[in-house]
Structure 1
Amino acid sequence: MSDDSFIREVNEEMRRDQATALWNRFGPIAIGIAVAVVVATAAWVGWRYWTTNQANASGDRFSQALALVADDKPDEALAALESLQADGYGAYPVLARMRAATVLDAKGDKAGAVAAFDAVAADRAIDEPVRQMARLRAGLILVDSGTYAEVSSRVEALTADTNSLRHSAREALGLAAWKEGRSADALTLFDQIAADNLAPRNVRERATLMSELIRGSGDAS
């Protein structure tokens, strides 16, 4: 055997010994990590599958409730929406609460609708934009069925210049003020809307008409 062959065999034997030692030391850890990765991946895939199915099922139930509303079956729609509130998945329970309040309003149950929107607005587990929308919806109902104070308690905070709902909130508050003979307050609110270039055109047009009506009546002084 040549010196080169002997050296190669020695080197190979040393490498095998080193590899065996490394495997004996780290092999079980490597196997554990591989198993953990496989289990975690399987759990993640299973969770995604479950959540997707739950969301799809809740979405189907919500669509069915909306179909009942469209078919003029409010009582059946309310029952379906209440069921979805109880055991729906994701955002659907909150959507069901908002839609149920709308159905109550359409049925003529103004007090029930306001109470339902107020409950959403008071629920700190719900995202703030949804809670603000619930306050606005309650205030809009109360423009016709409540007092200025009741409307104000719900929408006043939404009239701030930085709030995206300010145009509708000011309109609701302005109408409530005008209804109670507070024409100067109403005019101020309608003028704010009319001067806001970010307000939707239809809202600005209504505000302009209301401003002209109040000024024309001479009640703003």
Structure 2
Amino acid sequence: MALTPNTNEAFLREVDDEVRRDQLLSFWERYGRWLIGAIVLALALFGGVLYWQHRRSMAAGVEGEKLQTAFDSLAADQPAKAGPALSELAGSSHDGYRALAKFTQGDILLQKNDLKSAAAKFAEVANDNGVAQPFRDLALVRQTSAEFDTLKPQVVIERLRPLAVAGNPWFGSAGEMVAIAYINSGRRDLAATLFSQIAKGQDVPESLRQRAVQMASVLGNDASAAADTANVRVVKPATVKEAQAK
């Protein structure tokens, strides 16, 4: 007896459903335990990440309190009391606290006139790939300032020239040291040009712009216009050495 079209379609659907059930059962029997294991592992990893983030957040809070305590000790003129906390934070896994601690250690050493040790601390920050680039650049400027008198002029120039450009956050400080290194290496024309650029820098501290205007004038560049723009009072020294002393 021939099946009607409706009966034929119903039969085919039943066969198709049965095949799918068999396939699903076969898949579950073969991979079910692995699938459950993968889900459990994923949940465990997710929970581990949440726990790690929580612990890291808690640790950051504790380190923030330690840093504040160290700063309070320094404000009270008790650097020795701040020392242990700063030493601990200098080894922190948190980049910001690590950098701040080392910067502070370097500043304390500068106050003791231990330029070599201070430069070494700033160098650690400058070479720390985990720290944001602007702070690494600042550390390089501080390092170079601490050891400036012991460096050959060309070393200063090559080290700081990438920072001695208008628009860089540390243009003024880096540019001034590069310009002085140009003078010490006999390239007064380059020094005069760089001092003039610093004098025009609106983001450069006023005291630094004033020195730049004076140095540019001594070296033969009329920086009066730059001084007017920057509202800097110009007092022209007689010699380069006198200007540097200011």
- Report the TM-score when normalising by structure 1: 0.71
Query: Of the candidates 28, 31, 35, which is equivalent to residue 36 of structure 2?
Result: 31
Deviation at 1:53, TM superposition (A): 1.9
Query: Of the candidates 118, 123, 146, which is equivalent to residue 113 of structure 1?
Result: 118
Q: Match for residue 157 of structure 1?
A: 159
1:142-188 CA distance string (max 9 Å, x none): 56xx35x457634643233388233311213445777x797936534
Describe the shift of the 1:54–1:152 C-alpha distance in structure 2 as closer, same or farther (beyond 3 A).
farther
Structure with bigger helix share is: 1
Q: Is 1:21 matched up with 2:26?
A: yes
Deviation at 1:81, TM superposition (A): 0.8
* 1:84 alignment partner AA: L
Q: Match for residue 93 of structure 2?
A: 89
Is the partner of 2:69 in helix, strand or coil? helix
Alignment of 1:1-150 (within 5 A): 11=14, 14=18, 17-86=22-91, 88-91=92-95, 92-121=97-126, 123=127, 125=129, 127=131, 129-142=134-147, 146=149, 149=151
Larger deviation, residues 207-216 vs 45-54: 207-216
Give the unaligned 5+ runs of structure 1.
Answer: none
Number of residue-to-residue matches in the alignment: 208
Runs of 4+ deviating beyond 6 Å? 180-183
1:108 & 1:61 partners in 2: Cα distance?
26
2:166 & 2:48 partners in 1: Cα distance?
44
RMSD, aligned CA: 3.8
CA contact (8 A) 2:154 2:185 kept: no
Q: Percent identity?
A: 26
